[in-house]
Structure 1
Amino acid sequence: MSNTEKDVQTMVNYDDVFKNFDSGDIVKGKVIKITDEDVYVDIGYKSEGVIKLKEFMDDDGNVNVNVGDEVEAVFFNKTNDDGFEILSKAAAERIKGWNKVLEAYKENKTVKGRIKSLVNGGFTVRIDGYFAFLPGSQVELRPIKNYPSYVGKEFEFKVVNINEAKRNAVLSRKVLLEEEEREKQQRIWEKIKEDAVLTGKVKNITDYGVFVDLGGVDGLVHITDMSYSRVSHPSELVKLGEEIQVKIIKIEESEGKKKIYLGMKQLTKDPWEDIENKFSVEQITEGKIVNIVDYGIFVEIAEGIEGLVHKSEVSYDKYPPKIDELYKIGDTVKVKITGIDKENRRMSLSIKQTKPYPWENIEERYKPEDIVEGTITGIKEFGVFVKLEDGVEGLIHENDLSWDKEEKPNLQLGDKIKVKVLSIDKEKEKIALGLKQLTKDPWEDVDKKYSAGDIVEAKVVSVKPFGSFVKIEKGIESLVPKSEYNNLQPKPTETVKVKILRIDKDKKRLISGFVNE
């Protein structure tokens, strides 16, 4: 081989040592030197490359490069004044970021990026060295208010729009959240079946029940399904944010929407299930008053088991006080079970039947002519009711209030008075009482005070077609027949003189005639 051939061969081998790059290529190299302004990189080319030091600075101004590090940069096929190839790490990162975004868009994948800054209408998102646009409406499922709080945060995004010519990209996080929500809901709905038992969080408390978040799907526990016992307000049993266990009791679909009805009490045994093993008719037990209404009292005798004491079963009194004057919610009372309806979950109770029947031995406790004390419980046109003891009331007929029909005593409800027992009817539960009988009967001495032929002053009480009644003294009235008017025309309340014509003490009758002076 000639010397010329050897020289050519040597030149070819020398050229093969160096790599060939085109402008715009991304090259790899090793950092060989770092100065205050530049980073020098061996890229295996005829001359070393140089990258501005600032391209290695992070957002906090820290330089992140060391001699020996391997870096990637864009080759521009240009040299600086010192003959070093000009490279750009930032340009390489922009290209890499754009390529990631483009690939994610074409392959329908996600891309990770960090929100860099606020711009009009949204944010810039950094993906390596590339910056994409994130509209403010695409950050969360619901509109956001505190935009600055998102700057610096890293998320996964979906590339929703690309302009390859201008290398523009629009991102969305909302799309991914919506996909997650759909998947989450799908997973939840796979669990949501009637009779399924789930754990949820109390989301809202209302007067009528509790809304529970089952993990993205809400259900309602109606107040009647919270406990077998009476619940005045749901807040008595649960707190906002509390985790509770619930059972799905019904799922309704209407107009494309599903409503989930939940139960808490259904997780425990129904206390009415074996009611016959716990209680029986005629049994006497204790319970707590849970409600008072116009028609009676509801008493809970065991957890989840309550019955009604009808107002007629509260007291033996015919005219008892109002129920809320006798009892209040929370009171403990003794009751007798008078009926059990398991099918309709109803129980009849009685308070009065836990006490002795007051009329059982009434004749041993009260006898005619006895003077007793009682309390006025009712005032009617026909008379006054007096309570002698619980369940025992007597009536003072209007005729037995006073010997004088015009002078009725002033009596008030609640007054304590003494009365005389006139008669007792045990079968009809009636006692006749008298008030006037506590004083002397004015007719008792009428024949000693008056005689036929006596002329006395009297007051006209009433005028009837057949005659007039006149009052001679308290408790004693006389009839003046029309035939004995003696040409007088009597008027009510008028004072007149009468002549006593006849006295019948036994029948309490007195006949007189007007004296025409």
Structure 2
Amino acid sequence: MFEKTNQFINANVSTDIFNWNAYEDHQKEDHIKDFYKEVSINTINQYEILRGVITKILDKEIIVDIHFKYEGIISINEFRNKKNIKVGDTIDVMVEKIYKGQLLLSNRKAKIRRSWERAKEAYKNREIITGKVIGRTKGGMIVRILEHIEAFMPGSQIDPKPLYNFDNFYSEVYNKYMEFKILKINNEYKNIVVSHKALIEDEIEKQKKKFISELQPGQIIIAKVKNITSYGAFCDLGGIDGLVHNSDISWKRINHPSDVLKINEKVKVVILDFNEDKNRIQLGIKHLLPNPWISLDKNLKIGNKIKGKVIAITEYGAFVEIENHPGVEALLHVSEISWSNQLRLAKDFIKIDDVVEGVILTLDRKEKKMSLGVKELTKNPWLEIQEKYKKGSIHTGTIRHVTEYGVFVELEEGIDGMIHNSDLSYTNFKLGVGDIIETIVLEMDVEHQRIHLGLRI
């Protein structure tokens, strides 16, 4: 500092024209340099990342000025191409060791540390990063990201679609750059998992939202059947799927969607409803076909007789397709099949494809609902049994049902009676369904269609 100051003092100039500003600037610069030299090496932390300037390039090492009392040393082997470095270059360095007053530095480890910091930032912000496929391993590929980190991409994270030929795909992408998103970072084991599939799914999601935002109820689209389930069919609308529920496939009752639809079949669908938040689209097929209820005979009314074919049987009854009106169904409840009060199933009386005749009990054209009764075509036997089944009279019957509280006995078609357990307790008989027994009428309630029987022994 004295030499530089002396240059100004000995300069052959008068004090009038002496450059006092330049003199003060040099004093400040020298003061700063002296300050750094006075800083103790103990203030440097091991593994700290600093910025330094290359001051010398030797055969085996590079000298770096990090603005401390001592310069640092980096092995020349850390630089693959020595032609890419020169004196004056500013580089990142990490303090590896402080040994006998010398700073052993690493440029490579500093780069890796910077890359990890960048990776954490990209993971936090869900950023897209670029990487190069450099190898394969069990279950996936090795990818170099952010220049200095080797990450793992599982086979399941390559593409949303199943990858049937991994070898071919690897041959195509090896040593090439791809885009990824970081799925997981394990700081303890220094592992990073990346995904290419996540990018594709994000893009598909954006396309879905855009597609849905442009949809209108009633819009007609040509779709392709993608998947068939027990409750409906999923159709591809062009990158986004919609569901056609069973009830919206056909006006006629179907047992399974595969009865009328095939995978990859192109169908015309109409948008019924959609939910932008949940990316759900409800589709319809039958709505593009004539509604059979519209053509239903306007003269039909409650009390009319009508025929139809049994197309489905449930525990509580059967569905009948009305004759000459395909797609128009009526419910035949099990209680409307027989006058009997005995608990029985519809399948005990009728079977699929049976043609039945019934009376229209209810008819709601607006709600498209109709119910039938078959027993109404026969005379109610309960209206004429008072004389036949007087109290104390004896009758032969067949056991049709056994319960915890008694047995039900069919005395004739449509007429049942019950023997309560309390009226069987004194007997040692073991009764079963189908047994023919003699009974005695203990009590009769015509209004509620009940006959209380006893066992005659």
What TM-score comes out, normalization by structure 2 length?
A: 0.46
Bigger relative CO (Cα 8 Å, ≥ 6 apart) = 2
What TM-score comes out, normalization by structure 1 length?
A: 0.42
Decide which structure has greater strand share.
Answer: 1
